[in-house]
A and B are shown apart, each in its own frame.
Chain A
Amino acid sequence: MRQPDFRTPAIGITSLELEARLLRLWETSPGLKGFLTSVDHKQIGIRYIVTAFAFLALGGIEALAMRLQLAGPNLTLLTPAEYNQLFSTHGMTMIFLYAAPVLSGFSNYLWPLLLGSRDMAFPRLNALSYWIYLASGLFLYAGFLTGNGPNDGWFNYVPYASRDFNPGLNEDFYALGMVFLGISTTVGAANFIVTAFRTRAPGMSINRLPIMVWGTLTASVANVIVVPAVSLAFFMLWMDRQFGTQFFDPAGGGQPLLWQHLFWIFGHPWVYAIVLPAMGMVSDGLPVFCRRPLVGYSLVALSTVATMILGFGVWVHHMFATGLPGLGLSFFSAASIVIILPSAVAVFAWIATIRLGRPVITTAFLFFSSMILLFVIGGVSGFMTASVPVDWQLTDTYFVVAHLHYVLIGINVFPVVGATYFWFPKMTGRMLDEQLGRWNFWTMFLGFNLAFLPMHLTGLLGMPRRVYTYNDYGGWHALNLITSIGAFVFAIGVLLLFVNVLRSLRSGAVAGKNPWDAPTLEWSVSSPPPPYNFAVIPTLASRHPLWEDRLGNQGVVSNMERGMLLDEGKETIATTALDAAPDMVLEMPEDSAAPVLLTLGLAVLFVALLLKVWLAVGIGAAIAALALLAWFWPRSELRERTPAHG
């Protein structure tokens, strides 16, 4: 069959025949085969979200066990060793297996819909990113369930993590699992970057991107650059432990601080990577309920990027107490304080949006707007610890624990739950229950603040973090009891979310296309969207294609009814990076078993490395190599080779 190298895409309008034709092209096959081979970004996104919430529940149960142990002085519910594994696994779970993946899940589901495309730029890579996330999560939890969970905190300092002081397999599970997970994060980030720049609807120029896209794009650029630092650090740790290298051992000329540098060169940009997309959710979701566009779009977009750029230069503020030279500390202190400026831009933009709008109080609005308050509290305590002398006073106390929970729960969990209320109707076609939603919100909000606001005081009173118990001399008892009660109230709130989701899946009110009367492209298609997303590729003329009639810009008319059909195969449109002018027709890959096979090969490889079974290492590598060969085998239907052999 001759395939033309160039084509003028046909322009047309939606019709039933067109939709049927596209459905045949894009639908995932049913059953287990479809489950394992699907490359549909919506299926992958939902899997990401469900898996991440499962890890949130696990991490939450671990936290509750710790809060029972800490509810009073000198309790013996947990042994010190159990407590070490619990707080380390809790941190690992929440930060690596919940906070980042849940945002990837929402972005995976939403991006092509927000961008007016039919899928991500690399659909198979998207599937790979999920499967590796799942496999590495199971790998890490296999360690925990066999009593070999990480036990030196999520940031795992040497020499605690060195073999001399930690001879079990705990740290080997953690080290290899993190290298494994790093592959998922990196390929996922690469996919977001290329998708954002190349597969937008015609007319969605760079200044019309939703802020959530800015957030995830910025975070992805950071991830591509900084994830190798932590992968390398964990690889070096594993080599030190298993092959006698001397990277971190002073006795062999090694440098323990190298671990901290490599970890935080990754770790601090990473904490922005797990909040910027969530801040983007607020920037996009909050204005819908204020019935007006976001105030200061350009400033908010630029401040997102600025936060990340500054974020590359603040890692040493985790190391103020390690004896580094004072001049270096003052530079990192200054950078950490300056980062307030872009954060404040976002905060004032949200407040102005509420003030200038006509707020409609929904559960999603409550979650989004309360995030502003929690962000300010967490930001102020962060600002305090950015100052070197204050940090010397507060480091390793519960003040820091309070700060990081305000930041991570406040700027990640609250926006994510808000986003769940906001986009659940799009994903499932049904509304979450608003009545239960209010209970959900107020239980979470009050429980959270009850748990963590007094914890600042616990820290100021000098209680050190990471201790399995305390005695009653410090006057910490009452505060700890309040925190434990708050933690359980918060947990009930999260449970109410799960109840609401399960109930509404079956009996929620039917949503329709656009239940919130929102302005962006995802609300122009049915709920849930068809496998091909858009029957015709939309053409954009503004940031708010569904609000153009009421925003009163004369002559600005996006077109969602008439556009490129692209129905001669599994196709979507690639556009230029800045202006989003049509650039090429993209042939998209069919469902593929290569991603899941590659993951299987890598899983065999990593388990074999852990157990040092070299034959199995070879088998795993061979499976992975064959899967890659199949993946990259040039296909004429993807126009990767000459048609003579097609």
Chain B
Amino acid sequence: MVEAALSKPENLPVGPIGRHGVGWWGISTLIVSEAALFGYLLFAYFYTGATAPAGWLLEPAPRLTLALPNTILLLLSSVVAWWAEQGIVKRRRPQALIGFGVAFLMGAGFIAVQWLEWRSKTFSLGTSSYASLYFVTGGVHIAHVLVGLVILIVIFGWTALDFFSPRRRLVVSAAVLYWYFITIASVLVFSTYYLTPYLGFGQ
């Protein structure tokens, strides 16, 4: 090993190439920590629900008409973000710009629909522990979507400035990975609050 390293040094990449770089490890570690945060939020829901007396669920049969399509909208925005990253990988800048722009609009649409969904609720933040969990978990998720939107707009700007190439694009890949995480978290939050009551949790 020592002899090989010193007598025949290899040709090595200088700085990050594609996704290959320490920044990729950094963003992955951050996502693990963020995923744990959502895990604890959902733990709080299930623990409080499991130990609460009957009648804890304020909505035994949550209405899915807005929430389900909205979750699908955000999930699809991940596909769009992937397609935008492919635009960078394949040196098709217009594709990347359109992709990041559309993903941004889909994320913004998600927040708008979520706002309508919140306004349609008959309970508010302080009504009960269920209501507090509902709004705070959703609120933490929306805060993440907002951060994701800022990231998307910044990446859009940097792409417009022609900063990236197939080799030098780690920051783009990290941003897209973070966006995947935000959309997957929305599926977990949605499933917990809108689907588990139909499976019998908290009834």
A, B: real partners: yes
Footprint of B on A, CB under 8 Å? Answer: 3-9, 11, 121-122, 125, 186, 189-190, 193-194, 197-199, 202-203, 224-229, 231-232, 236, 239-240, 243-247, 249, 252-255, 257-258, 261-262, 265, 539-541, 557-559, 562-564, 574, 581-587, 625, 629, 632, 634, 638-645
Residues of B near A247 (CB, < 8 A) are: 44, 48, 129, 132-133, 136
Contact between chains at A539 and B30 (CB < 8 Å): no
Residues of A near B76 (CB, < 8 A) are: none
Q: A236 to B132, alpha carbons, bound, how many Å?
A: 9
Contact between chains at A634 and B158 (CB < 8 Å): yes
Residues of A near B52 (CB, < 8 A) are: 253, 255
Footprint of A on B, CB under 8 Å? Answer: 1-2, 5-6, 9-17, 20-22, 25-26, 29-30, 32-34, 36-37, 40-41, 43-44, 47-48, 51-52, 56, 125-133, 136, 150, 154, 158, 161-165, 167-168, 170-171
Contact between chains at B25 and A641 (CB < 8 Å): no
Q: A229 to B39, alpha carbons, bound, how many Å?
A: 9
**Chain A nearest CB: distance from B155 CB in Å?**
10
Q: A587 to B129, alpha carbons, bound, how many Å?
A: 50
Residues of B near A198 (CB, < 8 A) are: 22, 25
**Chain B nearest CB: distance from A537 CB in Å?**
9
Q: A608 to B167, alpha carbons, bound, how many Å?
A: 42
Beyond A8-B10, A194-B25, A198-B22, whether A246 also contacts B128 by CB under 8 A is: yes
Contact between chains at B11 and A6 (CB < 8 Å): yes
**Chain B nearest CB: distance from A645 CB in Å?**
7
Contact between chains at A265 and B15 (CB < 8 Å): no
Contact between chains at B126 and A582 (CB < 8 Å): no
Closest to A246 in B: B129
Contact between chains at A539 and B163 (CB < 8 Å): no
Contact between chains at B164 and A582 (CB < 8 Å): no
Q: A560 to B22, alpha carbons, bound, how many Å?
A: 25
Instruction: Say which residue of A199, A255, A642 sits within 8 Å of B129 (CB atoms).
Output: A255
Q: A621 to B21, alpha carbons, bound, how many Å?
A: 29
What are 22 residue pairs bridging A and B, where the CB atoms are less than 8 Å apart in the complex?
Answer: A6-B12, A121-B26, A190-B29, A194-B26, A232-B37, A246-B132, A249-B129, A254-B132, A255-B48, A258-B48, A261-B43, A539-B6, A581-B1, A582-B9, A584-B12, A585-B15, A629-B154, A638-B15, A640-B168, A641-B164, A641-B168, A645-B163
Instruction: Say which residue of A240, A563, A582 sits within 8 Å of B10 (CB atoms).
Output: A582
Where chain B touches its partner, the secondary structure class is helix
Beyond A6-B11, A6-B12, A634-B163, whether A254 also contacts B48 by CB under 8 A is: yes
Contact between chains at B126 and A252 (CB < 8 Å): yes
Q: A57 to B128, alpha carbons, bound, how many Å?
A: 44
Closest to A122 in B: B26
Contact between chains at B136 and A245 (CB < 8 Å): yes
Q: A5 to B20, alpha carbons, bound, how many Å?
A: 13
Residues of A near B10 (CB, < 8 A) are: 8, 582
Contact between chains at B132 and A229 (CB < 8 Å): no
Q: A227 to B36, alpha carbons, bound, how many Å?
A: 9
Contact between chains at A585 and B12 (CB < 8 Å): yes
Contact between chains at A587 and B14 (CB < 8 Å): yes
Instruction: Say which residue of A121, A197, A229, A644 sits within 8 Å of B36 (CB atoms).
Output: A229
Please give me the 4 A-B residue pairs with the lowest Cβ-Cβ distance, nearest first: A639-B15, A244-B126, A245-B132, A228-B37
Instruction: Say which residue of A3, A8, A255, A641 sits within 8 Å of B51 (CB atoms).
Output: A255
Closest to B130 in A: A253
Closest to A542 in B: B2
Where chain A touches its partner, the secondary structure class is mixed
Instruction: Say which residue of A189, A231, A574, A581 sits within 8 Å of B22 (CB atoms).
Output: A574
Contact between chains at A586 and B162 (CB < 8 Å): no
Contact between chains at A190 and B150 (CB < 8 Å): no
Residues of B near A541 (CB, < 8 A) are: 1-2
Contact between chains at B125 and A244 (CB < 8 Å): yes
Contact between chains at A584 and B14 (CB < 8 Å): yes
Contact between chains at B47 and A255 (CB < 8 Å): yes
Q: A232 to B44, alpha carbons, bound, how many Å?
A: 10
Contact between chains at B33 and A585 (CB < 8 Å): no
Residues of A near B2 (CB, < 8 A) are: 202-203, 539-541, 557-559
Contact between chains at B132 and A239 (CB < 8 Å): yes
Beyond A262-B44, A265-B40, whether A246 also contacts B33 by CB under 8 A is: no
Contact between chains at A639 and B168 (CB < 8 Å): yes
**Chain A nearest CB: distance from B3 CB in Å?**
9
Residues of B near A122 (CB, < 8 A) are: 22, 26
Residues of A near B17 (CB, < 8 A) are: 5, 584
Residues of B near A253 (CB, < 8 A) are: 48, 52, 56, 128-130
Instruction: Say which residue of A9, A125, A252 sits within 8 Å of B12 (CB atoms).
Output: A9
Instruction: Say which residue of A8, A203, A224, A632 sits within 8 Å of B1 (CB atoms).
Output: A203
Closest to A564 in B: B9
Residues of B near A226 (CB, < 8 A) are: 36
Q: A490 to B154, alpha carbons, bound, how many Å?
A: 55
Residues of A near B56 (CB, < 8 A) are: 253
Contact between chains at B15 and A640 (CB < 8 Å): yes
Instruction: Say which residue of B125, B161, B167 sits within 8 Å of A245 (CB atoms).
Output: B125
Beyond A9-B9, A629-B154, A640-B168, whether A227 also contacts B33 by CB under 8 A is: yes
Contact between chains at B36 and A4 (CB < 8 Å): no
**Chain B nearest CB: distance from A573 CB in Å?**
8
Contact between chains at A225 and B129 (CB < 8 Å): no
Beyond A9-B9, A246-B132, whether A642 also contacts B163 by CB under 8 A is: yes
**Chain B nearest CB: distance from A215 CB in Å?**
18
Residues of A near B48 (CB, < 8 A) are: 247, 253-255, 258
Contact between chains at A246 and B131 (CB < 8 Å): yes
Residues of B near A629 (CB, < 8 A) are: 154
Contact between chains at B136 and A11 (CB < 8 Å): no
Contact between chains at B136 and A632 (CB < 8 Å): no
Beyond A232-B37, A253-B128, A634-B171, whether A584 also contacts B15 by CB under 8 A is: yes
Q: A236 to B48, alpha carbons, bound, how many Å?
A: 13
Residues of B near A641 (CB, < 8 A) are: 158, 163-165, 168
**Chain B nearest CB: distance from A577 CB in Å?**
9
Q: A121-B26, A225-B33 are in contact. List 17 more A-B contacts (CB 8 A).
A: A5-B167, A7-B14, A11-B6, A122-B26, A194-B26, A199-B22, A202-B5, A224-B36, A243-B126, A246-B132, A255-B129, A261-B43, A262-B40, A584-B17, A585-B14, A632-B171, A642-B168
Contact between chains at A252 and B171 (CB < 8 Å): no
Contact between chains at A8 and B12 (CB < 8 Å): yes
Beyond A232-B40, A258-B48, A641-B168, whether A224 also contacts B9 by CB under 8 A is: no
Contact between chains at A258 and B44 (CB < 8 Å): yes
**Chain A nearest CB: distance from B147 CB in Å?**
9
Beyond A246-B128, A255-B129, A582-B9, whether A229 also contacts B40 by CB under 8 A is: yes
